[in-house]
Amino acid sequence: MKNSGQVKYRRSMLSRFGFNFYDIFVYAFCILFALVCVYPMWYVFVASITPYDEYIKGGLMLWPRGVDFQYYISIFNTRSFLNSLWISVSKTVLATVLSVLVTSTMAYAVSKSHVRGMKVINALVVFNLFFTGGLIPQYILYQDLHLLRSYWVMVIPGALNITYFIIMRNYFTYSVPKDLEEAARLDGCTDVGVFFKIVLPVSRPMVAAVTLFIAVINWNDYYNYMMFISNKTNLQPFAWILRRMLTDKSLMNTVRNGAVGLGLELPPPMALRMATIICAMLPIMCVYPFLQKHFTSGITLGAVKE
């Protein structure tokens, strides 16, 4: 009995050995890469709440050695931070709502390719993915439209999002059941009725997902500010504040001196940067579970044709 058990055990060890080696490699590789992806964020989070005395000891910060929000207090004691948060939140909301409305309605209309003109419009939109005027023509256009140095340059021009136009168009074309629409039409529904009673309810999850994606893009956007507003500090979005914290010594000095004025220890620049990074990341982390849920279906939607 004992003997046969041992033989069995040994054989399974042997037959598993190749397997195991392979498995170890697979798991080690994947887990290692996953750690490379998230450890920097974890490190920044832990370091940004570590009290000064512990912070200056350095190390890998695998776990918080005490909690102290002094760096957050320092940055939010600086006027431009709160203002930029407000700018970011408001422009994200406005730009996202506008963009989703314009893009989704257009995508739905263009998905009705039997209606005359829609194929041309579709071609015109997609062409823009590959050919644009570029930075300077954009600058001159905004100048002519009096959008330069205005808050609205961060909201209006991006109203039509071409990438999500294509994704939504494909969704409306291939994933909204045609029979459902037909049945509603037979029951006497007009185009309006079909849109509001059938298409919108059916595609609500998709529209919700696209809304989140576009909101993240808008939250992260600093490009429009940098290119077309650039010197109006009362309009800078939070992403730009972060950019300045990384590169602009004068803002950094303002924040550090402000911290001393509050009676805090003179904070190391990197700690303040980390606190700013966490603030810029926070909204994205909050919606990330939802983003991820729709992520896999969302981007492959564009490629799946039934």
Residues between 187 and 216 that touch other proteins (CB under 8 A): 190-192, 195, 216
6 or 262: whose CB is closer to other proteins?
Answer: 262
Binding string, 19-58, against other proteins, x = CB under 8 A?
x--x---xx-xxx-xxxxxx-xx-xx--x--------x-x
| Residues sharing a CB contact under 8 Å with residue 173, sequence separation 6 or more, in sequence order | 111, 113
Stretch that binds other proteins, among 66-74, 76-84, 118-126, 180-188 (CB under 8 A): 118-126
In the complex with other proteins, the residue whose CB is nearer, 6 or 129, is 129
Interacting positions 281-300 with other proteins (CB under 8 A): 281, 284, 288, 291-292, 295-296, 299-300
Stretch that binds other proteins, among 77-85, 175-183, 203-211, 220-228 (CB under 8 A): 220-228
Nearest residue (CB) to other proteins, 6 versus 133: 133
Please select the residue that binds other proteins; options are 73, 93, 97, 102, rule is CB under 8 A: 102
Q: Which is nearer to other proteins, 2 or 181 (CB)?
A: 181
Binders of other proteins in range 235-274 (CB under 8 A): 239, 242-243, 245-246, 268-270, 273-274
Residue 147 to residues 152, 157, 173, Cα–Cα distance (Å):
7, 9, 35
Size of the site for other proteins (CB under 8 A): 97
**151 lies in the site for other proteins, by CB under 8 A:** no
**Cα 47 to Cα 35: distance, rounded to the nearest angstrom:** 17
